[in-house]
Amino acid sequence: MTDDLATLVTVESPSVDERALAASAHVVAALGTRLLGTAPGRHGHHLVWRHGPTRVLVAGHHDTVWPVGTLDRWPFTIDGDRATGPGVFDMKAGLVQLFHGLSTLGSLDGVTVVVNADEEIGSIGSRDLIHRAAEGARAALICEPSATGGALKTARKGIARFRVEVTGRAAHAGLEPHLGVNAAVELAHQTLAVAALGRGDTTVTPTLATAGTSDNTVPAGAALTIDMRGFDPAEFTRVAGALRALRPVLPGAAVTVTGGVSRPPMPPGASADLHRLAHGAATALGQSPLPGVAVGGASDGNLTAARGVPTLDGLGAVGGNAHAEGEWVDLSAMPARAALLTRLISDILARG
């Protein structure tokens, strides 16, 4: 498993690099073919192993947030039971566990595996593929990294992305600034209004902001990107309504809002039964209890849960520091996590 992990990590796979994703898909396909005994269906850089009608969907992704060249300064490294490297935790170790675990099943009948290449950027190109693969499934098991200490992810916030665009009027900043309508100033007003929309566990965060075309011109245009996350579907309706109700503060300015929900929330009810089943599987294997936690990040589990498929997330690697320098994986935990996945699949299929 460690050797396979090294192979995957040393092939960089940022979500927006077509050449890198093609190379990564080739390596992942080879690993899955060797361990499952069948080659995947190729859908661009997305891979699907289907063994009859889907009863259990097992999902993961091979893209990462790390640009090509990261390995040059931060190579795959092993120190005792800890491995580090770009993408090792999110989520290449989870893929290794997935394939090694499934290789021990007596039969893969009813098991569909989807490994997509754009999860880190919202699964825009693969969500229809995931929806189709999940049709008729009794369960979706998401091999994303575990929460702290190996906890499973039993609820996830949904994500919405919005864009506020401001139209003003250009003018010479030195000669006639009074003739302009400063889009940057208007955007500042709107940014403060947007930032005030968060409440409770709903976050509304202004992220990317741009304005102007030159340093001596009153900006005629400006734009703001907004990241909104929450557990309650009603909160998405509230925030979307508030954003679309934004009105300009400066005379002559115009404000336009676009965007919407990218991934709906994954509620606790989507995972409750599977979490109990996973707890029983862990007990049968002599493993420690598996707490469940709600997390702010989204995954493809949001997509399967929204289709009404019971979904359990966080079945991947034990480690930490996802998306940050020094992300790491506990190598000693990988066999047990692979065994847990296998036992859980077997129990689901046995329930009839």
Of 292, 293, 303, 225, give the one whose Cα is nearest residue 262. 303
Per-residue HEC secondary structure of 265-307 comes to CECHHHCHHHHHHHHHHHHHCCCCCCCEEEECCCCHHHHHHHC
Distances (CA, A) of 49 to 12, 59, 154, 235: 22, 10, 25, 37
The count of other CB atoms within 10 Å of the CB of residue 338 is 23
Active site residue 119: yes
Among residues 4, 12, 90, 119, the one annotated as catalytic is 119
How many Å apart are CA 229 and CA 157, to the nearest integer?
6
3-state secondary structure of 48: strand
DSSP 127: H
Phi, psi of 11 (to 5 degrees): -110, 100
Contacts of 43 (CB under 8 A, 6+ apart): 126, 129
Active site residue 72: no
* Residues 36 and 90: beta-carbon distance below 8 Å: no
* Residues 34 and 122: beta-carbon distance below 8 Å: no
Phi-psi region of 52 (alpha: psi -120 to 50; beta: other; left: phi over 0): left
Helix axes 93-102, 334-350, angle to 10 degrees: 50
Among residues 63, 90, 144, 235, the one annotated as catalytic is 63
How many Å apart are CA 71 and CA 9, to the nearest integer?
9
Question: Which helix or strand (DSSP H or E) is residue 158 part of?
Answer: strand 158-167
Question: What amino acid positions are annotated as catalytic residues?
Answer: 63, 119
